[in-house]
């Protein structure tokens, strides 16, 4: 069922306002790029008013970061059960995430139109949703690895944060390679091996 909403647009009756906004933002960024995507355009597509969007997100960059974070979570949710010791699982997840997101439409498009979005995500303070990725999906693996002896003894929060930053960088780099028609398979393997060596006990 589709309903006419406050902004005059249409959205699914089962879709929450937040979901409608993020879905509309992703569609707009895919079609127009981040620079040409506006709050007004997102509101129009989502069928809500601009104040409704602003009550939830400070600006377009905050929305873009949330959309990118959801892309991560979508892949990570399917990788909770992996074989091997904790470090092997971390590296396997790392490789799958980079390969999947780098070749997927959203990040592949960003690599050409708005690579600075990922750069800002690396350099800027963590938002709540980004920190949730680290806390829920990366940090527990680091802690388990230190418990089973497969990950070196160091501050687990620092290790997890660095793995996350390398992951973002690898996605951007590999997306750019794919966009240029080059294979990223070797690059993904090299970066995954680098992460493995970084976590290896000394």
Calculate the CA 122 to chain-centre distance. 11
Unique residue bearing structure tokens 């040409």: 36
Domain 2-57 has CATH 1.10.10.60: yes
Return the domain boundaries, the chain: 2-57, 62-199
Q: For residues 56 and 45, what is the distance between their CA atoms, to the nearest angstrom?
A: 16
- Per-residue pLDDT of 60-112, as tens digits, reads 888 988 888 887 777 777 777 777 899 999 999 999 888 887 777 677 676 66
Residue 79 is given by DSSP the state G
What CATH number does the domain located at 62-199 have? 1.10.357
Q: What is the pLDDT of residue 200?
A: 97
pTM given for the model: 0.71
Evaluate if residue 9 carries a pLDDT over 60: no
Cα angle 89-134-57, degrees, rounded to a multiple of 5: 140
pLDDT value of residue 55:
95
Asked if residue 100 lies in contact with residue 175, where contact means CB atoms within 8 angstroms, the answer is no
């Amino acid at each position: 069922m589709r309903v006419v909403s406050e902004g005059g647009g249409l959205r699914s009756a089962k879709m929450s306002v937040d979901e409608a906004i993020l879905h509309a933002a992703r569609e707009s960024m895919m079609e127009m790029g981040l620079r040409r995507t506006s709050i007004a355009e997102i509101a129009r597509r989502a069928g809500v008013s601009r104040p409704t969007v602003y009550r939830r997100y400070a600006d377009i960059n905050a929305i873009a970061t949330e959309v990118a974070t959801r892309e991560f979570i979508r892949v990570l949710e399917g990788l909770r059960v992996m074989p091997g010791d904790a470090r092997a699982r971390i590296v396997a997840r790392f490789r799958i995430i980079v390969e999947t997101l780098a070749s997927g439409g959203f990040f592949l498009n960003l690599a050409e139109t708005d690579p600075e979005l990922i750069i800002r995500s690396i350099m800027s303070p963590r938002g709540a949703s980004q920190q949730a990725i680290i806390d829920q999906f990366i940090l527990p693996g680091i802690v388990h690895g230190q418990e089973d002896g497969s990950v070196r003894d160091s501050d687990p929060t620092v290790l997890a944060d660095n793995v996350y930053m390398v992951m973002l960088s690898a996605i951007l780099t590999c997306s750019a390679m794919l966009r240029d028609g080059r294979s990223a398979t070797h690059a993904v393997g090299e970066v995954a091996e680098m992460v493995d060596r970084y976590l290896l006990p000394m």
